[in-house]
């Protein structure tokens, strides 16, 4: 009887120890990563679990191969590089499978104090407020922030002119890393570049025409989920 009770106490203690460890370390599911292979190099993206609608929509397109052959069709130095327009695909094969994506939208998932437009942020493009007052995101188009550096004065002026507020973390990021703070709270940030910013900068330096389109195509050869 005594041995049985002692064993039970030991087992209970071990179980409590595991419970405390799980609580202290957290059991959050790891963010999914995606490898983007372009004709200018590779980019590794991390998708945020806190924006599940955008994460799942993006992963659905990656798994289906919808992005393979799509171009980065808009490049604005010191601002963003934009891609994901399925109409830019070299090969039209299989486009019928994705016709609904051309008009489909994803509800906004704004978390500006946690995820904002710092350099390397992965964000969803969308139609303008005039036709899209809910600020819903495009079903496929995305952009990666390159941005520029901001001073304390720049951020204070933006706060006064546009009523924006910035956390200490945001201010530090915009001053030391750069970004596009003017877009915060208006476009969904759902991931970030964790490797391959050199490729992003290589794309940003590509020659463009008067419509911000690359003179020579910048093509996404493939996207795949990293195990």
What is the sign of the dihedral through the CA atoms of 120, 126, 130 and 132? negative
CA dist., res. 18 & res. 24, Å (int): 10
CA geometry: angle 82, 83, 89, nearest 5 deg: 150
> Could you give the strand order of the β-sheet that contains 220-226, starting from the edge strand earlier in sequence?
72-76, 80-83, 142-145, 121-124, 189-195, 41-47, 33-38, 220-226
The pLDDT of residue 97: 52
- What average pLDDT is seen over the chain? 87
The pLDDT of residue 95: 52
- In this model, does residue 21 exceed pLDDT 90? no
The pLDDT of residue 163: 87
The pLDDT of residue 202: 98
Averaged over 16-45, what is the pLDDT?
Answer: 74
What is the sign of the dihedral through the CA atoms of 183, 65, 99 and 105? negative
pTM: 0.85
- In this model, does residue 45 exceed pLDDT 90? yes
Structure tokens at 125: 């493009």
**Longest C-alpha distance within the chain, in Å?**
86
CA dist., res. 227 & res. 214, Å (int): 32
Averaged over 166-172, what is the pLDDT?
Answer: 95
CB 76 within 8 A of CB 60: no
The pLDDT of residue 96: 55
CA dist., res. 38 & res. 177, Å (int): 24
CATH of domain 32-226: 2.40.100.10
Buried b (16+ CB within 10 A) or exposed e, 177-191: ebbbbebbbebbbbb
CB 174 within 8 A of CB 118: yes
Averaged over 30-36, what is the pLDDT?
Answer: 97
Q: Tell me the three state secondary structure of residue 181.
A: helix
- In this model, does residue 98 exceed pLDDT 90? no
- In this model, does residue 7 exceed pLDDT 70? no
H or E, element range at 33: strand 33-38
Averaged over 39-66, what is the pLDDT?
Answer: 97
Q: Tell me the three state secondary structure of residue 87.
A: helix
User: 30 falls in which pLDDT band (50, 70, 90)?
Assistant: very high
| Per-residue pLDDT tens digits for 113-165 | 899 999 999 999 999 999 999 999 999 999 999 999 999 999 999 999 988 89
């Amino acid at each position: 009887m005594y041995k049985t009770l002692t064993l039970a106490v030991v087992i209970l203690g071990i179980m409590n120890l595991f419970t405390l460890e799980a609580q202290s370390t957290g059991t959050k599911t790891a963010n999914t990563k995606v490898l983007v292979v372009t004709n200018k190099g590779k980019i590794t993206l991390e998708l945020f679990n806190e924006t599940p609608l955008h994460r799942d929509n993006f992963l659905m397109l990656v798994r289906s191969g919808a992005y393979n052959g799509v171009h980065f069709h808009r490049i604005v130095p010191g601002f963003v590089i934009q891609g994901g327009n399925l109409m830019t695909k070299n090969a039209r094969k299989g486009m019928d499978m994705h016709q609904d994506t051309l008009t489909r939208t994803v509800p906004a998932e704004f978390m500006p104090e946690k995820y904002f437009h710092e350099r390397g942020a992965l964000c969803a493009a969308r139609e303008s407020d005039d036709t899209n007052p809910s600020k819903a995101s495009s079903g496929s188009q995305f952009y990666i922030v390159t941005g520029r550096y901001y001073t304390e004065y720049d951020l204070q002026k933006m706060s006064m002119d546009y009523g924006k507020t910035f956390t200490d973390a945001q201010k530090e990021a915009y001053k030391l890393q750069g970004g596009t703070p003017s877009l915060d709270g208006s476009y969904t940030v759902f991931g970030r570049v964790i490797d391959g910013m050199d490729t992003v900068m290589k794309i940003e330096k590509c020659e463009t025409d008067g419509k911000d389109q690359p003179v020579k195509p910048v093509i996404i050869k493939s996207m795949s989920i990293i195990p």
